[in-house]
Every structure is written in structure tokens, then in C-alpha cells.
Amino acid sequence: MTDDCRIKGFSVTGSHLHLKGLEARGVPQNNNLNAESWGIWGSGSDNVFEQIDTHHHMGTGLFISGGGGNLVLNSDAHDNYDPNSSDGPGENADGFGAHYTPAGRPANVFRGCRSWWNADDGYDLISTYAPVTIENSWSWRNGYLSGTTTPSGNGVGFKMGGFGGDYDAGAVKHTVRFSVAFLNKAAGFYSNHHPVANDYFNNTGYGNRPDFNMLGIDASGAAVGRGNLRNNLAYTGTLTSNLAGTSSAYNSWDLGLPLSDAQFQSVSTAGWDAPRQADGSLPALPHLRLAANSTLIDKGVDVGLPYTGRAPDLGAFERPGDTPPPGLRHEAEAALAVCQGTIDANWAGFSGSGFCNADNATGAYAQFTVNALAGGTAALGIRFANGGSTARTANLVVNGSTVATLSFESTGAWSTWITKPANVSLNAGTNTIRLDPTTTAGLPNLDHLDVNA
């Protein structure tokens, strides 16, 4: 199919379709009067593209244009290059793209996908008015001619929006999480002048230029930082740029943790294109996964995504098997907890059957009774939500003695839960841990207390 002599290998205009196991290869450009061709073009909605291998096209591997609610699952796009584009060779051949979807349509999702050695970008979300989520996906060596380090197009791993450098009031938030970008010619994760702050949660950047570039734009057209960054890991290369103005916390660069190859099981950049598993999921590799003794384990903050252990790990890969043993998680609604207020369940995202909504008063405390097998230092994780605009402070009282004053910052919404860490000394046997508010604003909503005694 052609469009002004631009060729579409597959044109998917229908909706509610499931295409699985297709290989699309070698769609050409007919001339040099236009931009790229497309391996697969999808303008329908609510479609599933599963286990697609789209490669060696003179243009983008898989291009969503205008549709919403599509899922691209466990698919690969690679080795695409547009030598005949009218705006220059290599300027338009992305791995995956999602563009031009009108406002109000449901999110398009890329999950479990890989994009590599595309002449332009790995994933490109420019000029779309509906949200896009990218998760559990990888992007590497984009911006080069296939199989070489000869520069070509832009070379961004994950290009998370933008409108050609202009401010657009219709911009929406996009999300990338649990994803990896390495050795791309330019940024691993890039805001690309996006007018609003995207969510960048639990991602790993390795050897990009830089790993995270949060260049956004405000209503006046000025360059500003744009992004909500949590639990990300940047190692080697230039780590970050344009962070001023972003919301950045609990990332490797915020915490000042020492980084070295020893933090990882492997830092190999080979083998990421290995065959997928039998169910189509990504290959199980040790690369850029945390070593068992890594100091990056449990150093993140709860952003409402699954994790094991006391807190999320940094980076794209959560180490398995760190779920707190029975008895170390203490729900606020449990029999051995005291809530001077009500046990509510009207805000989503809590664990157990409810949370403590303490009275807005000084002294309206919440208390947990915990048992320690031995005395010594214990790591606490206090899961809370604060939908107000200001922090709420509370004294941390252990066995009747105030040991610290904690500030529970705004989480932005009452349904957004995060975990506040603290270290305390416990006695062997029974202990009480109390949170006692210092102002009439009271406590934040409290979900549970994890104790790693």
C-alpha cells in the first residue's frame, strides 16, 4: 500500500484485532521526495500486536497513527534505515512510534518490546494527544547504521513526547517504567521538549549521552526540566541533564550511592537480542541486574508498582525473593495496631483491607506492636499517602521514647502511596512503634509498617 509513494508493508485500519507471530521485513522507499515508509502501520484501536518481528525497513518498524487502546506485546523492531528520506538519510527510521492519537482516547501500551540499531530512535512518542505507557522494554544502539557505530539520525532510546520543540497545551503525561536504555547515540530517556512532566519510574540507563535528559518546555517557550523521576539508575556515560525543575528523588544520582561494575551481576552489552522465551517474553539475562550484595537493593520508594523487600530496588530489574517474611508486615487495620481515627478503604492502592485515617489533631497517633527475635537496629518502612499540599510531621516514638521526627511529604494524591524509611533500635521481644503528629494537620493516611528486624 502506498501513501504519496510511501509504502506500508501492513496497513492495519481495523480495530479489535489480534495479530501474532508476524515477521515484516524490507519495506522500501520508492523515491527521495518524501519521508520514511513503514513496516507496519496501525490506525485502528484496541488491537494487539504480539510477537511481531519488524526489521530492515526503509522507515519505522511499527507505527501507530491515530488509534488508541492498542497493545504492542513482546515485539522487536530493529535494523531500520531510511536512506532516501527527503529530510536526510536516517532521520525517520524509528523502531516503534506512537503519534497523532486525538485527546480522550485510551493509552497505547508497549510491553516487553525491544528496539535496536534503528537509524533514528528506539521509541518515539512525538505529537500525540493520548497517553502512552512503555514498560519492561529495552532500547539500545539506536542512531547508528545497522551493525556499526556510524552516526545516522537522532539516536534516542526512549523519546517521550514533544511537539517539534513547541509548547502545546494539549500535551498529556506519558510513562516509561522498568525499562533499559544503553549505548544509544544520544539520550537513553528523553523528554524532548515535552510540556508536561512524564513519569520515569524504575528505569536503567547505561552508557547513553546522557542517560536521562529531561529537557522540557513551558508556556512561554522557555526550556525547563520536565519529569517525575523515581527509583531510576544511571551508570556510565553522562548521567543526567536538564534536571532543574523536575521532581527527582530516590534515584541513584539523588542518593549519592557509589556505583561500580560490582553492583551488577553483569554489565555486558552483548546478547540482548537473544531468542525470546517460549511464551514470547524477554530472554532471562544477568546483564544490568543487581548483584545479591548490591547496595542499590531496597533503596527506592514506593510509587504504587509491585516490588519485593522493604522498598523497591533501583533500576529496571527488581530482585526476586525479598518479600518480608510473615509477621514483619504490620497492617494499620490489624488487631495489634492502634489508629486514633478511622479505618477507611475509600482510596485505592493500599494493602490489606484498609488504612488508618487518623484524626486531624495533635496527639492523634497511630501505634504498632511488633515482635523482634533479637535486640538491635531494625529498618522500618512506613507506607503512607498524603494528598495534601504540605508535608505532615510526626514524632517517631519507640517504646515510649521519641527517637526521630519524620516529615511525610505530599504524595500528590491520596491514592498515591510511598514508603518512608527509618532505622530504629528495638528490644528483643515486644516493642511499640508510635507515630505521634506534631501539628493539628495530623498524620498522613497510613497503610502498613514493614519491620526488617
Catalytic residues: 159
- Biggest distance spanned by C-alpha atoms of the chain: 79
Residues 6+ apart with CB under 8 A from 272: 114, 116, 138, 140, 283, 285, 287
The DSSP-derived string for 176-227 is EES-EEES-SS-SEE-TTBSSPPEEES-EEES-SSSEE-EEE-TTS-EEE--
252, containing H or E segment: helix 252-255
Cα-based distances in Å from 160 to 194, 208, 234, 386:
8, 16, 17, 28
Residues 6+ apart with CB under 8 A from 401: none
Bridge partners, residue 217, by sequence: 223
CB atoms within 10 A of CB 45: 19
Cβ 178 vs Cβ 316: under 8 Å: yes
Q: How far apart are CA 274 and CA 284, in angstroms?
A: 9
Q: How far apart are CA 93 and CA 154, in angstroms?
A: 10
From the CA atom positions of the chain, what is the Rg in Å? 24
The C-alpha cell at 251 is: 534515584
Residues 6+ apart with CB under 8 A from 361: 437, 440, 442
